[in-house]
Structure 1
Amino acid sequence: MLHRVEGIVIRSMDYGESNKIVTLLTKTNGKAGVLVRGAKKVKSRHSSLAQPFTYGEYQYFRSQGLGTLNHGEIIESHHDLRMQLDLSAYASYAAELTDRILHDDEPTVFHFEQLKACLSALDEGKDPQIVIHLYEMRILTLAGYAPELEECISCGNRVGPFRLSAQGGGILCGRCVNRDPSAPVLGEGAYKLLRLFKGLDMRRLGSIAVKPETKQELKRVMRLLMDIQLGLQLKSRNFLDQLDKLV
């Protein structure tokens, strides 16, 4: 069967001497594995279509299993995301996270739009850490693990200061801290950003100026949420951590 889809390359691997196999996050057909013949050849007309983060229109044949690319047109190459080390690290993390959280043939229209907006925001020079934390919140929400941030998960109190219990899946007020003594205190700035992220579509992200100390706190609490709620071991995140140590 011939498929024609909009897709984003979220994974690309060599296959044989001259081919690549890409995993596309498609707008309508879920994830799709596609063989791109000759993609490793310098003069191949399909080589750019097999590059990570490429957004394009892909036409491929597939009866079952792996598809084979017939034709494609690039809509947005995201060249800078591959050329700049820090942006490549953030984009790789977003792509790997998306790949690991989604099952094959799972409906993906909203996931597709969110990843597309995430890569565009990175390409446009928006703060990559803020972009990625917003994307992480979108992933948590889409997976059904968004934290409760409006009221204490134990007693319903809406008056802070609060702690974030990643294990409990939300905030705890001062009276209920014994429910999770290890839960970190949320500063006002980090708490406001978490609430903003929970309800914000990636496509609506503007420029946000965040203090360095607030960004560090945000990173800590988002890591807790991602590790406890999803528990994924991602190579791209390990690389991001190594990159942070060099800065």
Structure 2
Amino acid sequence: MIVRVHGLVIRVLPYRESDALVTLLTREAGKIGLIAPGARKVRSRLAAHTQLLRLGTYILYRGRSLYRLDQADTTALLKTRLHDPLVNQRTMEMLEWVMRLTEDEVSDPFLYDHVERSFLRLDQGEPLDVTWLIFQLVMLSHMGYGPSWDRCTRCGLSDDLKAFVPQEGGMICGTCLKHHPPLHNVTLLPPRLVWVLQQIVRTPPHLLGSVRLKPENVELVLKPLAQFVFLHVPVRFRTQEVWRGADELIRLAEDLKRARRAPGTGEDEGDVS
């Protein structure tokens, strides 16, 4: 059976001598695996279409367990921006989220549109951390993890939402915050920022235009949101742990450099014989 799908390449693995195992996220069939025969050969007509983050139309044959790629018409995303280590980091994190939070062969047009739009945002040079924030907010909400942005997680009221508390699963109102202060980390959010977060979650991906947020507001949300993911999402994302470890190594290296340059270390002093 011949199948025509619109999809995005989210993983590529070598297979046999010259084939490739490709994972596509598609609008019509969800996340599917396929074999690209001869795709690793230098002159293969399929080689360009089976690279990571290729977006376009794929014509497949349905096999017993995997699809088989026959033809494709695609374009490359993030062709130049992946040289930026920060773009590379966010891209790898987004790809792992898609791989580990989606089910095989379950059609989900909303999710597909969101993922495609997120990578298009990166490709078009929109603010990196804003794109990462939007990606997480919509993914978490759509997959049923939350957090709650429009109602107090304690009393259920939708008015006067004051603070985001990861341990309690979302926002709490001013009354609950005043009478029963949480014992955990509390992040106070401006009302305007809360409204913007609510609109991001409510708006369909194809209708969500450019979102402008101050860098300090993005950072204000990203930190507690990462803690929320750690507490409430039953998946440990390896990419984030790797990058976190790399950041720690970079900080240690910088501290070591400063220590060596400090007065009295003998680093810059001449030898005396």
Query: Higher mean Cα deviation, 42-51 or 153-162?
Result: 153-162
Q: Percent of aligned positions with the same letter in both sequences?
A: 24
Larger radius of gyration: 2
Residues 80-229 of structure 1: pairs in structure 2 closer than 5 A? 80-160=80-160, 162-177=162-177, 178=180, 180-188=182-190, 190-229=193-232
Q: Distance in 2 between matches of 1:210 and 1:244?
A: 25
* Counterpart position of 2:235: 232
Change (3 A) 1:98 1:81: farther
Q: Distance in 2 between matches of 1:81 and 1:45?
A: 25
Q: Distance in 2 between matches of 1:241 and 1:116?
A: 26
Change (3 A) 1:154 1:244: same
Deviations for 1:1-49, whole angstroms, at most 9, x for unmatched residues? 2221111111111123322111101111111101112222222211121
Q: Structure 1: where are the runs of 5+ without partners?
A: none
* Counterpart position of 1:19: 19
SS of 2:231's partner is helix
Q: Distance in 2 between matches of 1:140 and 1:184?
A: 20
Deviations for 1:199-247, whole angstroms, at most 9, x for unmatched residues? 2333344444433322221111221232222132223323554676769
Q: Distance in 1 between matches of 2:242 and 2:210?
A: 26
Q: Distance in 1 between matches of 2:8 and 2:66?
A: 16
Q: Residue 187 of structure 2 aligns to which amino acid in structure 1?
A: V
TM-score, normalised by the number of residues in structure 1:
0.87
Aligned partners of 1:78 and 1:123 also within 8 Å: yes
SS of 2:188's partner is coil
* Counterpart position of 2:262: none
Change (3 A) 1:89 1:42: farther
Aligned partners of 1:146 and 1:198 also within 8 Å: no
> Once superposed, what is the RMSD of the aligned Cα atoms?
2.5
Q: Structure 2: where are the runs of 5+ without partners?
A: 252-273
Aligned partners of 1:163 and 1:183 also within 8 Å: no
SS of 2:198's partner is helix
Q: CA deviation at 1:164?
A: 1.6
SS of 2:187's partner is coil
* Counterpart position of 1:32: 32
Deviations for 1:117-137, whole angstroms, at most 9, x for unmatched residues? 011010001011111111111
Deviations for 1:54-113, whole angstroms, at most 9, x for unmatched residues? 111111222321222111111454423544332232222222211111111212211111
SS of 2:12's partner is strand
Change (3 A) 1:125 1:111: same
Q: CA deviation at 1:191?
A: 2.9
Q: Distance in 2 between matches of 1:172 and 1:244?
A: 32
**Number of residue pairs the alignment of both structures matches:** 247
Aligned partners of 2:161 and 2:171 also within 8 Å: no
Considering Cα pairs closer than 8 Å and 6+ residues apart, tell me whether 1 or 2 has the greater RCO: 1
